[in-house]
């Protein structure tokens, strides 16, 4: 898989594991902090971490199901399982994380309660930020070789591999959410107004809903089937155009069956007078050139086009 594609599954697995272990520890710590302090921001963040841990489990599940061999019912395999379970991740983040935090924030604003031991709450949030920073740093390290010269947002939007973009967005949202929680707890402590703890919780909920919707839109596009990135499409055209017996490329259609499995359908015009045996040899040559240029082009279909009138003349 080239850098333009957005990361191989092996690279993603290490980042998923690091995020999973970090979120399990963070979730336990945050929930213990909520029991001690009663802070709604800590409760919202503990649910957020539980949702994130579940999400990493779903990403693992998607990778396992995608590795199953093709069947008669699914002749192209199960590669899109990685897209489907990443879409489910967005729904979990939206519902379990965002909607719960919005409800809890509204409840704490309507019925504010004093925070017990705010120093403990602040210490836990700071430690959680350190762990989330570690998880984000791991995801960034795994994604950097595939990002190329693009911005991080450009990488997330153009990547055909779902795991690393999901982790980057989730971990960034986690650190931002912790910042909201920390600000809420500090303001509630300094001003003596516990309503700020609820405001921080409400901000966390709004953030998670926005992130969940963003990921859902991105994963839906991948699930429906996105074309190869422009660099790969150009490489396919150049490879096919380099076959001497092909005089014209009518069109090139591509679609990702998974991040590592690209379907390529080409319609070409052969040199006039080519025999059936020679046409078969030309097709084999064209397929070999395309696979050499774009290794993830695992399924290639080449259709001959009728010669143009000027060609026949």
CATH architecture of 230-312: 2-Layer Sandwich (3.30)
**Using one digit for the tens of pLDDT, what is the confidence trace for 259-269?**
889 999 999 99
Residues 6+ apart with CB under 8 A from 300: 264, 265, 266, 286, 287, 290, 291
Provide, for the chain, the percentages of residues in helix, strand and coil under a 3-state DSSP scheme, each rounded to the nearest 5. Answer: 70, 10, 20
Q: What are phi and psi of 76, to 5 degrees?
A: -95, 10
Residue in the block written with tokens 């409760």: 43
9-224 classified as CATH 1.20.1510.10: yes
Q: Report the percent of the chain where pLDDT is more than 90.
A: 34
Distance CA(154)–CA(46), nearest Å, equals: 30
The 3-state secondary structure of 41-75, one letter per residue: HHHHHHHHHHHHHHHHHHHHHHHHHHCCCCCCCCC
| Domain ranges, ordered by start, for the chain | 9-224, 230-312
From the CA atom positions of the chain, what is the Rg in Å? 25
**39-to-99, 113, 116, 187 alpha-carbon distances in Å:** 18, 8, 8, 12
* pLDDT computed for residue 240 by the predictor: 94
Give the pLDDT of residue 263: 96
Output the pLDDT for position 300: 96
Per-residue pLDDT for 7 more than 70?
no
**pTM, whole model, 2 decimals?**
0.79
- Averaged over 106-123, what is the pLDDT? 87
The 10s digit of each residue's pLDDT in 150-186 is 888 989 988 888 888 888 998 898 899 999 999 999 9
Residue 8, classed as helix, strand or coil, is coil
Mean pLDDT of 34-46: 84
């Amino acid at each position: 898989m080239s850098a333009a594609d957005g990361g191989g599954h092996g690279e993603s697995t290490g980042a998923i594991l690091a995020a999973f272990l970090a979120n399990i520890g963070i979730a336990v710590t945050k929930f213990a902090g909520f029991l001690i302090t009663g802070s709604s921001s800590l409760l919202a963040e503990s649910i957020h971490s539980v949702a994130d841990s579940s999400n990493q489990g779903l990403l693992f599940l998607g990778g396992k199901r995608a590795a199953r061999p093709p069947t008669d019912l699914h002749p192209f395999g199960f590669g899109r399982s990685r897209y489907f379970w990443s879409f489910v991740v967005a729904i979990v983040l939206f519902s379990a994380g965002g909607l719960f935090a919005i409800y809890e924030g509204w409840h704490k604003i309507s019925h504010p309660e004093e925070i017990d031991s705010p120093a403990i709450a602040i210490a836990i949030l700071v430690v959680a930020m350190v762990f989330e920073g570690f998880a984000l740093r791991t995801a960034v390290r795994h994604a950097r070789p595939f990002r190329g010269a693009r911005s991080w947002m450009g990488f997330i939007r153009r990547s055909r591999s779902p795991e690393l973009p999901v982790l980057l967005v989730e971990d960034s949202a986690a650190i931002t959410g912790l910042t909201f929680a920390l600000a809420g707890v500090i303001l509630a402590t300094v001003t003596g107004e516990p309503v700020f703890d609820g405001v921080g919780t409400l901000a966390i909920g709004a953030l998670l809903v926005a992130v969940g919707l963003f990921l859902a839109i991105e994963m839906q596009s991948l699930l429906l089937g996105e074309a190869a990135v422009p660099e790969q499409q150009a490489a396919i055209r150049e490879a096919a155009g380099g076959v001497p017996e092909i005089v014209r490329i009518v069109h090139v259609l591509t679609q990702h069956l998974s991040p590592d499995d690209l379907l390529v359908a080409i319609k070409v015009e052969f040199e006039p007078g080519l025999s059936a045996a020679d046409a078969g040899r030309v097709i084999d040559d064209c397929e070999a050139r395309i696979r050499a240029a774009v290794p993830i082009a695992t399924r290639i279909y080449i259709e001959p086009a009728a010669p143009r009138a000027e060609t026949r003349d």
